[in-house]
Homo-oligomer: A and B are copies of this chain.
């Protein structure tokens, strides 16, 4: 979905600067980084930020859409390297790690898999849901994943487990363990 008309040169330049500034700011300060500060970093009036990115979520999406699409592609790589069940857990792990590392991404991924997920988030949402669907289907065919699990449920639970691991430790050192608890269940190992 490219721009129907190319942007004016100054607009294009401001757009790029804003994106760079935003990526920096989100990485440093998380999803709530000051928008005004981002505009200042980009050397741009605050109104210009709003013109290009009417909502904070729009800016977050623009800042992370590449990474997210890379994560989608990563799912397919893993599917080739590993048996379906393992590919799925490994992907959830890498997804969680990315969510924790790139501090602004959590809100974005959350919104993308939320119920009324904003129509504007189609890019991230469909990338994630598509990747999840392929992994889920393969694992179900293999018989290592509950047949009644919806891809979006997997994403939401992954998000929740990541949240849980952040409670344990800002860096999510417990992420692997918590994912294991999810996949194996809380009942005794049998």
Contacts and interface: CB of A to CB of B under 8 A. Distances in A.
Q: Is the interface of A mostly helix, strand, loop or mixed?
A: helix
Interface residues of A, number: 38
Nearest to A179: B186
A152 B164 CA distance: 10
Count of chain copies: 2
Contacts of A170: 115
Which one of A110, A164, A186 has the greatest number of beta carbons of chain B within 10 Å? A186
Contacts of A174: 153
Interface string A155-174: 01101111111011110001
Which one of A154, A164, A183 has the greatest number of beta carbons of chain B within 10 Å? A164
Contacts of A71: none
Nearest to A111: B167
A153 B187 CA distance: 14
A185 interface: yes
A178 interface: yes
B110 A146 contact: no
B188 A185 contact: no
